[in-house]
Structure 1
Amino acid sequence: MELGEFARALEVGELTPLQWSELLSSDFHRRQWNLLHRLHADEVLRNMFPSLTHGSVRLRVDALDATSRQVLVHELSGERYEVINAEVPGADWDGVSTGDLIAYLRDSLEPEGWRFLWRADEIQAAKAAVRGDWWDDFTSAKQPLMVVRGSHSPVVPPRHAEEMIRRRPGTIEGKA
């Protein structure tokens, strides 16, 4: 990548896509194309900044922060990979199968592994803290409303969601 390209991509926030494009189109990196294409096909991993180091693909959460979460992936064969957490000094390479690779990498690049950005018990505690009769406020609002819940939601129990829909005409029910 030329310095001018780098500067323009950095300015418009397109550094990571440009780097992927460079790696995926360069004959110099042909030996890693299979792995690069596999990683780039994932909607989460394609947002990680890729680079090549000693035949391994390095994925970094922040392109400009060398201390951000990062992993190295090395292809052993078409069905086996080695992955190492590049942040941990003296860490061992983990053997990972093709079927587990994407989930393993996603989990490794999350600060606490994969999780919702909220916890159901915290939501329930917040709801308990504001218990009361809020139906007048709820039913008087004029904005359109869609109640979305999973079939086993610990956040909005089915009975409560049904009551919300019943009390406010025009409310749409969405199921996750």
Structure 2
Amino acid sequence: MMAVETLTRVRGLRLASVDFGGEGRPVLALHGHFGRARAFAPLAAALAPEYRLIALEQRGHGHSDRGDGDFSQDAYVADAAEFLRGLGLGPVIVLGHSMGGVTAFHLAARHPELVRALVVEEGGALNRQPEVPHPVLDIRDWPCRAATLGELRRQIEARGIPDASYFLESAVEHPDGWGLLFDYTDMMDSQQALVGDWWADWLGSTCPALFVHGLDSLILPTTMARQMAERRPNTVLRELPGCGHWAHDDDPAGFTRAVREFLATV
């Protein structure tokens, strides 16, 4: 299986994506804030050959254009919808993590003809205080450049991040040192735009859905995850013990097993 990276013109933007290949059933994967399409490589390998995973690098992330600075859910959803139409694969399974999960269930509610089933990992229907104590990660004082990749890691972790590996997926070497691909102001704006009440969209679709929650998550309360599963028909909740907000990294085998078992029923 050979991954193919492409740049596609979508709504006037160049959006990067990674098609992990194969002849299996298509799955569109949407990363969360600060993420990259290539982060889905382990999941793509684990789901092959039954499933062909295509990961979209959303606006302002990775090598995708930032556009006009609109980082609303409307913009993210419209991008994903147009990208899917361009693929011409019919309704697909849509999988999303965190912000990508919220985009996924918005997409299902607004464009049901494009979504066969949902897999949402840690994407909450309510993202605001006091229910979510820290809905926005303040990155405004993060380093713009560092002499080495290790120094970039050290400086980010010195700002309260226990393990910067997730963010360093976006690290590249520039002529003046190592830095991250995303713009800090853009990411602050995008996070602020995600603060809100998204219950109507979570409940606005009827396709089969899997909700994956890390029981040690500091982002999504367990009570909310259970309410989301209880209130939406055709929804299965899988709770992963010992996992946080990035459950797919904390327990790759458990996450893949949960996804596989669900997809077998779709």
TM-score (normalised: structure 2): 0.20
Q: Which protein has the bigger helix share?
A: 1
Greater relative contact order (Cα < 8 A, sep 6+):
2
TM-score (normalised: structure 1): 0.29
Q: Which entry has the higher C-alpha Rg, 1 or 2?
A: 1
